[in-house]
Structure 1
Amino acid sequence: MNLDGKWAVVTGAGGGIGGAMAFSLASAGARLVLVGRNSSRLEALCASLPGTGHRTVVADLVTDAGRDSVVAACGTGPDLLVNNAGVNHFGLLEQQSEQQLRQMIDVNLMAPILLTQALLPQLRASKGCVVNVGSGFGSIGFAGYCGYSASKFALRGFTEALRRELADSGIRVQYLAPRAVATDMNPPEVVAMNKELGNTTDSPELVASELMALLASGKPVRQIGAPERFFARLNSLFPGIVDSALGRNLPIIKRRAMAAAGRAG
């Protein structure tokens, strides 16, 4: 995808992954509409980007007003929409509040669905591209991430269905699935758990480079990490094997989840 002079919307731009994606896209010549909740972070990011003409939108995408403000900022429409904004609450299901569970569904699933819907007329006109940023946990259900996995499994399904629905429209629909990433979203217990389990943790910059590779490839899906790709495939074919493998890690996951719940009070 040639990004020179194109408009790209990045949601969750105030976070580590979103900021790295914005920088990579701007370096490729794109003009950015940076969407997030933290005005100071967005302004600082905007000032640091190569190129000119970038815009910031402070918005809560769960609300109608927030999505309307993004649509208004896009003018005649974006060439690329990156639905990156997300939230996670690590913990056992019985420890989590209804508010936490609803927030994950609203932010990770409903917001990208409704924002994509709102921007479809402009994306049709530009024959643009939608990239939904999911997770490896959108292919593998993982203990301690019930609500998060539910939201990302659903986002992956939405992406697949939308890609097929828009097959004759000229709009490209793609899905990027990161694995663990070093961002502020992870509480100390998750950082410690990933280290104890030997899980690879990527930098936001690596995820941004994978986004650029996905856009260049034109392929529908890009899952980061060869072991993660293999495990996702294995889970789809022989879930019992994955049940057994992940079951061995359950005591560690539960211990870290209990520690997180205790710290939260």
Structure 2
Amino acid sequence: MKLKGKRILLTGASGGIGRALSMELANHEASLFLHGRDVKVLDSIRRTLPYPERHQIIDGDLGSVKDRVLLQSVIARNGGIDILINNAGTCRFAWLKDQSEDHIAEQLSLNIQVPVLLSRAMLPYLNNPGIIMNIGSSFGGIGYPGYSIYCASKFALRGFSEALGRELASTGINVLYFAPRATRTPLNTASVNALNSALGNRVDSAEWVAQQAVLALSKEHKRLWLGWPEKIFVKINALFPHVVDNAIAKKLNVIEQHSHDLPDNEHSS
């Protein structure tokens, strides 16, 4: 799909990937609805974009029924959208026993319940042809210690994307699943950065991830995994999970050590 002139609702627009996506999409001459919780940050981002007058900001909590209804009404009043990008998300790097019920509920709500409910809410306002792009993760295909809840939510998002895409196959609405690996953003905690460094994990810039996301959007790739060797690990994990079990087991002590480095090690976008 050519993005010039397309109307795009982007959630999590004030996060690291969200900011980069905003700029990349604006550079392709799309018109954006930028959604997030902080209206001042959103407006600051909007003013940095090419042709800022083409873009609108909508603040609110996607976990709130009232705020989702408000978002829906804004989109309806403005003539609908061509593309929905479910980018908002949150993550907590910690052993399960160290996560509270609130921490667990927050991740499951924002990472899977919100995209499901927002996709349903936006379906009547998606132009045809249209696209729903769900921003997933390499951890949507590889269960990784310290990220049990995050993995659960991203595995679910991948399944939702696949099922909804098949459900809408004859409607002109295409559903895409885009899965970055570790990405360098200001929201990463010191413990997450230290773990990636200790394990030698490659970390991509938010700008590069945004470029790849827009390319995937333009070409309408149903499923795209970023990064090597992560993308091959996803395939190996699906076919021979015991191989990945053994590989991760060798790193388990290092992962657990870093999971206890900070008492409040979470990030959101």
Q: TM-score, normalised by structure 2?
A: 0.95
Counterpart residue number, 1:46: 46
Assess if the C-alpha contact under 8 Å between 1:87 and 1:185 holds in 2.
Answer: no
Gaps of 5+ in 2: none
Provide the residue aligned with 2:132 in structure 1. 130
1:87 aligns with: 90
Q: 1:29 is matched with which residue? A: 29
Q: How does 1:201-240 map to 2 (within 5 A)?
A: 201-240=203-242
Number of residue pairs the alignment of both structures matches: 263
Secondary structure of 2:94 counterpart = coil
Counterpart in 1 of 2:6?
6
C-alpha separation in 1, matches of 2:229 and 2:265: 32
Determine the C-alpha separation between the residues in 2 that align with 1:168 and 1:66.
Answer: 31
String of CA shifts for 1:13-51, please: whole Å, max 9, x gaps.
011100110111111010000000011110000001112
Structure-1 residue corresponding to 2:115? 112
Identity of aligned residues (%): 41
Normalising by structure 1, report the TM-score: 0.96
Structure 1 consecutive aligned stretches of length 4 or more whose deviation exceeds 4 Å: none
- Equivalent position of 1:145 in the other structure: 147
Aligned to 1:178: 180
Pick closer, same or farther for the CA change 1:4–1:194 going to 2, 3 Å: same
Cα gap change, 1:262 to 1:62, in 2 (>3 Å): closer
For residues 177 and 30 of structure 1, the distance between their equivalents in structure 2, rounded to whole angstroms, comes to: 22
Counterpart AA for 1:5: G
Conserved in 2, the CA contact under 8 Å of 1:71 and 1:77?
no
Offset of residue 262 of structure 1:
8.1
For 1:112, the aligned partner's letter is P
For 1:200, the equivalent position in structure 2 comes to 202
Q: How does 1:59-70 map to 2 (within 5 A)?
A: 59-70=60-71
Structure number with higher strand proportion: 2
Secondary structure at the aligned position of 2:91 is classed as coil
SS in 2 for 1:43: helix
Higher relative contact order (CA 8 A, sep 6+): 2
- Structure 2 CA distance for aligned equivalents of residues 22 and 70 of structure 1: 18
Matched AA of 1:89:
R
One-letter identity of the residue aligned with 1:127: P
The secondary structure found in structure 2 opposite 1:152 is helix
Unaligned runs of 5+ in 1: none
Query: Does the residue aligned with 2:175 lie in a helix, a strand or coil?
Result: strand
Cα RMSD after superposing both structures:
1.3
Question: Could you tell me how far 1:263 is from its partner in structure 2?
Answer: 8.0
Partner amino acid, structure 2, of 1:29: E
Separation in 2, partners of 1:237, 1:249: 21
